Structure 1
């Protein structure tokens, strides 16, 4: 679930509290290219106001038209768009493509209250909707679960599927934490330094003062966790990186220059890490975008984090170290040519 979908649920609950009826639309299946994936949400109020997105806008417009024409449905419905070429052109879907949705009328805020309370506690939650009765139930979910629909039951998964641990509570960490929250990461900040910790004020994050290597061990990194060291202090960064590189964490990175990261790798080799584990360290962290400010560097790191999470092939992205090495070679070549 991304941050937009959390906003949809929160706004829908507020509308219900204000006495409105609300319809929740969930994308359950797509074929061909689609603007939004299965699980994407749209909430429509009884007066036509909307929040969220299930397409580029055309399907939203049609749903609003249906609501104004037919009124709020009395029970959940299953609808399809784009089955034929004419509908595909009308709704901006590829010819022959299909998007299926479940439309669920909401009349009571209590079920959403229960769901949002569990999300606020950081839980990953499975919500099952029985199409025939309209009743929903909640249960604990697994990160591997996704949206599923068998014609009778809609299963949706809400909550953060990925975790990000940031070592250091500085300005760059604050920028990166904000971006990561928008990307559906549960963000933990670790900094035992009081002067940094006391200034941390990013809502929705977890702040701990424990030593970074202890925090990494306690969090038990899995294949859906990332660790980024941002303090420039080897006493804090190196031991945390050592523990993270031994784990299944899908992304382990460190800030710093190419020279500093080369020295860091030499230090890590002095521990009982093998060559493959040391090579897994991404440093300097991020993709090359010419970044200079904390905000720009945070975008660079977030871009690499998402690329790795989504399995983008390494040859399709340009790492900071590779790009700067290429720039150095180019500068040396130009300098040599100028002296001839």
Structure 2
């Protein structure tokens, strides 16, 4: 499953290439509580089909009624320069459209976005590139350019600027079954995903599209990956020859999350190896997470992947998780009954 924005833009591209009229709607400002953040997008086809969302559903219903149903009151045009609209200005309107108390949002409508520009944007997103899209408000003309870093949506009297593409990157060491579940969740969470495994017998069965598959030794892949503060590195092989050197390389980087799968015993042994044989200290290993994941009682590969992805997103979003959700803490207090196998996390 792909990133939501890319899915919306791909659907919109297909509608426009097929000659159908369509509307691109972007949340450009919010006041108070809002069901969707600034930068959220949805696409609406002339036949009433919808991709994406800008609210909990009520605003979408209103837009369908005004755009896709001939003769509707307060109908939206099918061709025009971009237009702004506000929802939730009054308490009655907020209630009507299901907005939280005091919530107001402002939308920008783009009528019949250019199909060629959409195709170019989607092609760059498919290649894993971060792209800046600028819309001239006077006439809807679109300019695309590569972006070096993610930026918040901005809008002024002349143009709208939004950034699309993978904001974060994930490098997974090991191409096993759980890696497939984790990679899938990372993709639809907006990560660009690389999976590294030099073992042909593991990577030969890889089946997740949209993931870059690397075959070199993991430590070399980490070096080439150049983890930055928007990167995470997760080792899932259980093989010290693959995991340990890769983790060492990652620990020297500003990656926001570095972790390895395993039981408390396995993670303790790993930390001891890194200290005794590679000159690490307890202080230098502070960034190394293990057992990875939050405690949700997970035992199967997909459940463990959910646990790991949840922890990655919490760290990414700056959420301090309570100690009761820490796997090592729970297992130390509950003992062997907390998990059924040495691989269980979460």
TM-score for the superposition, normalised by structure 1? 0.93
Unaligned runs of 5+ in 1: 332-340
Distance 1:200 1:260, change over 3 A: same
Kept after mapping to 2: 8 A contact 1:16/1:22: yes
Kept after mapping to 2: 8 A contact 1:252/1:282: yes
CA distances 1:83-107 after superposition (whole Å, capped 9, x unpaired):
2211111112233321111100125
- 2:286 corresponds to which residue? 279
Distance, in Å, in 2 between the alignment partners of 1:16 and 1:6 is 15
- 2:230 corresponds to which residue? 224
Kept after mapping to 2: 8 A contact 1:41/1:53: yes
- 2:341 corresponds to which residue? none
Distance, in Å, in 2 between the alignment partners of 1:312 and 1:61 is 34
Kept after mapping to 1: 8 A contact 2:323/2:329: no
CA distances 1:302-325 after superposition (whole Å, capped 9, x unpaired):
010111111111327612111111
Is 2:23 the partner of 1:23?
A: yes
Is 2:59 the partner of 1:59?
A: yes
User: Structure 1 residues 92-101 or 294-303, which shifts more?
Assistant: 92-101
- 1:309 corresponds to which residue? 316
* Matched residue count: 330
Distance 1:316 1:62, change over 3 A: farther
Root-mean-square deviation (CA, aligned residues, Å) is 1.7
Distance, in Å, in 2 between the alignment partners of 1:317 and 1:93 is 33
1:196 to 202, 212, 235: 202
Distance, in Å, in 1 between the alignment partners of 2:43 and 2:216 is 41
Is 2:231 the partner of 1:208?
A: no
- 1:186 corresponds to which residue? 192
- 2:343 corresponds to which residue? none
Distance, in Å, in 2 between the alignment partners of 1:234 and 1:316 is 28
3-state SS of paired residue (1:237): helix
- 1:75 corresponds to which residue? 81
Q: Which runs of 4+ in 1 moved over 6 A?
A: none
Distance 1:183 1:82, change over 3 A: same
- 1:294 corresponds to which residue? 301
Kept after mapping to 2: 8 A contact 1:246/1:273: no
Kept after mapping to 1: 8 A contact 2:79/2:112: no
Distance 1:144 1:109, change over 3 A: closer
- 1:46 corresponds to which residue? 46
3-state SS of paired residue (1:35): coil
Kept after mapping to 2: 8 A contact 1:246/1:277: no
1:177 to 171, 178, 183: 183
- 1:152 corresponds to which residue? 158
Measured after TM superposition, the shift of residue 141 of structure 1 is 1.5
CA distances 1:39-73 after superposition (whole Å, capped 9, x unpaired):
11111112222111000011111112221332424
Measured after TM superposition, the shift of residue 190 of structure 1 is 0.5
Distance 1:273 1:83, change over 3 A: farther
Distance, in Å, in 2 between the alignment partners of 1:148 and 1:66 is 27
Distance, in Å, in 2 between the alignment partners of 1:158 and 1:186 is 12
Measured after TM superposition, the shift of residue 35 of structure 1 is 1.6
1:116 to 117, 122, 125: 122
Distance, in Å, in 1 between the alignment partners of 2:196 and 2:324 is 29
3-state SS of paired residue (1:63): helix
3-state SS of paired residue (1:145): coil
